[in-house]
Every structure is written in C-alpha cells, then in structure tokens.
Structure 1
Amino acid sequence: MPSIKEETKFNRVYCIRKSLIDRGFSESSADVIIASWRPSTIKQYQYSWRKFVIWCVQRKTNSFRPSEKDVIDYLNFLKDSNFSYSVLNTTRSMLTQTLSFFGVDVTKFVFVDRMLKGCFNLNPPRARYSFTWDVNLVLTFLSSLYPLEDLTLKTLTFKLVSLVALTTAARAQSISALDLHFMSFSQRQGTIVFHIQELLKTTRPGFSLPNVVFKRFDKPELCVVKTMINYVLRTKDVRKTSSLFISYATFRKVSTSTLSRWLKTVLLLAGIDINIFKAHSFRCASTSAALASGCSIKDIMVTANWTCAKTFYKFYYRELNNTGTKDFSSAVITG
C-alpha cells in the first residue's frame, strides 16, 4: 500500500482514489469508480471509516491492511459498545468494499460473516416503534389550519409537507425530490403527478420508480391537491428553485434534514411526543392507518415503494389479513 499522509488517511474517498491512480487508473476512471457509491453512502461510510482508523491508531494496527482478527476484534468492540446490529452490518459492508482497494483479499475473511450472524442472534434488530401515533390527531390539527389564504407561508409549508408525507408514505428524501419541472396537473381528474428524476434510496438499474400521485379530496381543509396548488401559486414569484419545497426564509431548496425537522414540528404541535416519534414515523403511521381503514396490501406496497411484504409486516404493521379496496391516500385521510 502506497504511503498516505497522516492527515489524509482518515479520508476514505481520498485514500481509495489515490490507490486507484497509483495502480495506473486514470483520474477520470477513478472518479467514475468513486461515483458507484451514492453521496449518502459515501457520507455514511466516511463516518464508519474514520471510527475504524481511530481504533486502529490507538492499537497501532495498520488500518489499510488489517488481519481478519483485527476486523473481528473491531466488530466485537462495536458490539460491546452497544452499537446496533445495523451499525455493525454497515461497518462490515464498508470494510469489505474499502479494504479490497488496498490489496486485502477480504474473500479469505471467512469468520466475519459468522461474527455478524452471532451478533444478530445475540441482539436481533427490532422495529423502532412497538406502536404508532393516531393519524387523526395530526389530521385534526391540519384541519384547523384553514382557510389556506389566512395561513403564513411557514404554516402553509408545514401543512403541505405533512399532507404529502401522510398521503404518500414517502421518505424525506423522496419528498425532497419532488420538482415542479416534472409535475403535471389534471383539472378534470383532480390529480397532481410528479415524475421523479433524482436517484433515490431504492433506485437501481432496470427498475423504474413509480410516479408520485396526489388525489383531490372532498374535504378542502385536508385536500393535498388544493393545498399544493395554493402553495405553488403563493411561492411562484419568490422561489429560487424548481423543487416543490422551499425555505420560507430564503426561498431556496431545503435539505431532507429540514423536511424531517418540519415534520417533527407538526407532530409536536399536534400533541405527539417527539421524544418517541421521529419524522420517519409518518411512514409507519400512514401505512398502518391505511391498512386499518381498508386499503389493500398491494396498494400500500406500491405507494410506499416496498418490494417485499415482510418489510411492512415486520417494521410497520402487525396484521396482514385486510383485503379492503380503498386506495392508499383515501384510506389515510378519510379513515
């Protein structure tokens, strides 16, 4: 392994790129290989890599050429430090993908997978929530935010992002990807359709993301289409981006963390304990409410963009015996 300066060995991408170039790869080829990881994965792996390097430095171990025992000792260190199985699994994936660039034959690390299975059996991952909040609490609060013309842009923004989260069961990343340039509105059908163009968590070769469809509701105070039209018109002359959601202060595109913070604020205002429930709980609460209200499992799977029913069954709901016919958004809003 070529020498890497002390101050840069903590930078995973830099080290991998240097290793590729030292092997004779062009800078362009190295950049394309680096691009095989999504930005969110690069960020997650960087955090994991830095922790591993620090651990190696403290034990005077070569972080670029660790032995299988070193890797297993580190995973055991994480386990003893009460890190979850998910963190251990992410660390294993990061090390497996990273060390191969430094000439380590990770295929010979036959006990690492066995180590992970042992960690799983000793502390299996569990759903974050054993119960969820009542969707009616949030709907009652959102209904009070009416008429729309009387709302400040901040309040209107909070209302719309909540209705979007409830009626689509979307992740904050997916909500952030909604773009007005790829939106179509049907006055006759009363629907708004977004065609997602960005790479999302579930984007993969040969798989097309479904369009995000919003339908009109009879109750105007809970109609996501009416609220969205009002929001788009209200922000038309001030927005500095085509992204649907913009900052009510700077009018620029907001990050997924900001969207999550807005959703948590709505939960708090609706009287829900945000020490227990985070923004992602909208996904759990909406899908559970949809099933309980008569939405079919098939429609829930399509709306939430799940390919495996076990995901819903294990982490979001406990019963799968409903064969109702309501569509997802109607089941959530109308109950």
Structure 2
Amino acid sequence: RSATPALERAYPGGGSLIRQAFLMKHVSEKAADTLIQSLSTSTLKQYEVTFKSWWKYCQDHNVNPLHAQVEEVISFLQYLMETTNYGYGTFNAHRSALSLILPGVGSNFLVKRFLKAVFNLRPSKPRYENVWDPNIVLKFLDVPTPPSDLKKLSYKLATLLLLATGQRIQTISLIRLSNIKTTSKGVTIPITERVKTSRPGCNQPCLHLKLFTEKPNLCVATLIMKYLEVTRPFRESSMDDNLFLCHQKPHRPAKRPTISRWVKETLKEAGVDTSIFSAYSTRHAATSDAYRKGVSIDTIRSSAGWSPESSVFARFYNRPLTESPNEFMNRVFQLDPN
C-alpha cells in the first residue's frame, strides 16, 4: 500500500505510466512500446485526465498507483463523486483508463456496482435536446462560390461534406488526395487512416458523393474538384496529400480544429445558434434529418460511420434497410433517389 519513491517526483505522463505497467507484466521494452501503439492519440489524451488525477490522489494518500487495491480505486472514485460534477460517461472513461494500469479493476464486482450507482445518480444525457434544420444551412450555401475566394470555398466544402455524409470532423480531416476516386457519377473517398471506430474486423469509412446536377451549388463532388483545381498551385510537395489546406499563406494542411472552426463560423452565418450548437452538431442535424425523411437506420449507420452492431442510433429507431450508398445524401438534400 505504501507509495514508491517514484511518487516523490513529478507526474511522468500517461504514456510513461502505461508503459511502466506493461513492463511490470514482464514483457520486453520493445513489446511494451508496441503495446502502447494499440491506443490512439485521442484515447491517450482522454486517459491523461484520469492518470493525472489518480497520480495526485495516490500522492496525497500514500498509495502506489501501479499496485493499488480495489478498495483504493473505489475511494478514488468516491472522491471524484464528492469533488466534481462528472457524469457517468466520464466515470466510465476513468474505469477504462485505470484498467490499463491495474488489470482486473474494470471487471471487479465492486467497481461495476459503483459505476451502476453513478449511472443512476448522474445518467448520461444527450448532447443536445433538439437540433437545427439542415435546410437553413443548405439554403444559405445554395449560391455560387467564386473560385478566387479560397476561404469561402473551404468553409462551404467542409460544411457540405459533413451534412452530405453525417461523418465526424475527424473523418473529413483525414481525406487524402491519393484516395479520391472520380467517376462520371461522382466521387468516392475511402478513408484509410485510423478513425474513432477503427478496430480489427471493422470496415473503414468510405464517402460516396454523387453528382447533383439538380442543385449545382450544393454538389459536393463538383465542389471537391473545384477545390482541387484552386489549391493545386499551393501543393508544392508530394507531402501535401491532405484535401484541406489553410486558406491563408503558407497554406499548410488544415487540422481538425481549423476545419471545426470553419464549420462553426459557417453555421453562425447561416443563422444557427452557435452558442448552443458546435460544429459537431452537423452530425446530429444530418442523421436526424435523414431519419425523419425515411432513411433506414442501417443506411444512416453505414453513412455516418457507426459500426454495424452499434446501438447508439439503432436502439431508438428501427427501419427497413436501404442499400443504396447515395440514399443518405439524396434524402438530406431532398432529391429523388437515383
């Protein structure tokens, strides 16, 4: 139970703590480094919050963070209950993080029972109780965009891509030029890099964007080709494989936070209350609108990047399967299936 000399020094970082826990299981250093790669950057960032709190708690209570007993973990969770307003989702993330460095904790009877109590006391709530109508934004964007205005072109393309697919901002930020495939019917973009739902046995997202001759100003496929033409002079090296570039010099690849800001500014200009709704709300708006217009839960799940077995959306809706990959976009943009 006593703390080790390691606790006398500063917090080493989540990655270092996880690696140390792996080494304590008698794996080699190289194997520990490989095991760390099983965790995404976003997961490590999320777990960092847990490990910092756990490290400090262990220092204050003279507990070894890598040899703690279940009752000490329960005490830590109770401490968080008394000192924070964390909901069930956050506590569940804490359990997952601690399970990495304290094997068996996540499946322990008392820990599971404590989490069930947290769920009853502080249940998870939807991010939004209602959502905005995509037609508001589509009408705002249904105007010609001058090729010379890279800023407006970038903002419009990012927003329409999210509404047309229901995907996460992370996903469209990972679009690579080398993966964009154009045909006479539109554009297909497989996402080959790791996303939130990537795991063994699951398909990677693939974006299907058909040509919209009926609404040329909202045609995402045409907009992509226009964007590529406009940004071609800025792609000086073969390393510039990202679709999105910053609209200001030196036109570096646009990261997820930048694209998120573009979308939020577009929503605000269109009349969406961005004091309530973030850029991520495009996912809520598009999928909810598609469902209201009769798109099956299976198609919504497939287009928006939920796994086939996911109950995030399916537990609330149950409609027949529509197999066309363009059905989602057709219905959101209010076009007849083709």
The alignment's TM-score, normalised by the length of structure 1, stands at 0.88
Matching of residues 1-335 of structure 1 within 5 Å: 3-4=5-6, 6-21=8-23, 25-80=27-82, 81-100=84-103, 106=105, 109-144=108-143, 146-149=144-147, 152-186=149-183, 188-189=184-185, 191-217=186-212, 218-239=214-235, 241-249=240-248, 250-306=250-306, 307-308=308-309, 310-313=311-314, 320=318, 327-334=327-334
- Contact 1:2–1:19 at 8 Å: present in 2 too? no
* CA RMSD of superposed structures (Å): 2.5
Following the alignment from structure 1 to structure 2, what is the Cα–Cα distance between the partners of residues 108 and 198? 31
Give 3-state SS (helix, strand or coil) of 1:214's partner. Answer: strand
What amino acid does structure 2 have at the position aligned with 1:132?
V
What amino acid does structure 2 have at the position aligned with 1:298?
D
Post-superposition CA distance 1:143-186 (Å, at most 9, x none): 13x24335x11111000000100001011111111111111100
Where in structure 1 do 4 or more consecutive aligned residues deviate above 6 Å?
322-326
Shift of 1:129: 1.1
- Contact 1:79–1:88 at 8 Å: present in 2 too? no
What amino acid does structure 2 have at the position aligned with 1:175?
I
What amino acid does structure 2 have at the position aligned with 1:111?
L
The total of aligned residue pairs comes to: 324
| Structure 2: 5+ residue stretches without partners | none
Shift of 1:30: 1.6
Shift of 1:308: 4.0
Following the alignment from structure 2 to structure 1, what is the Cα–Cα distance between the partners of residues 68 and 282? 42
Post-superposition CA distance 1:199-257 (Å, at most 9, x none): 11111112222421111112111111111111111001103511111111232222222
The percent identity for this pair of structures is 33
- Contact 1:168–1:303 at 8 Å: present in 2 too? yes
Residues 292 and 212 of structure 1, relative CA distance in 2, 3 Å threshold: same
Give 3-state SS (helix, strand or coil) of 1:197's partner. Answer: coil
Following the alignment from structure 1 to structure 2, what is the Cα–Cα distance between the partners of residues 21 and 313? 41
Residues 72 and 270 of structure 1, relative CA distance in 2, 3 Å threshold: same
Following the alignment from structure 1 to structure 2, what is the Cα–Cα distance between the partners of residues 285 and 22? 47
- Contact 2:95–2:106 at 8 Å: present in 1 too? no
The alignment's TM-score, normalised by the length of structure 2, stands at 0.87
What amino acid does structure 2 have at the position aligned with 1:79?
M
Residues 2 and 122 of structure 1, relative CA distance in 2, 3 Å threshold: closer
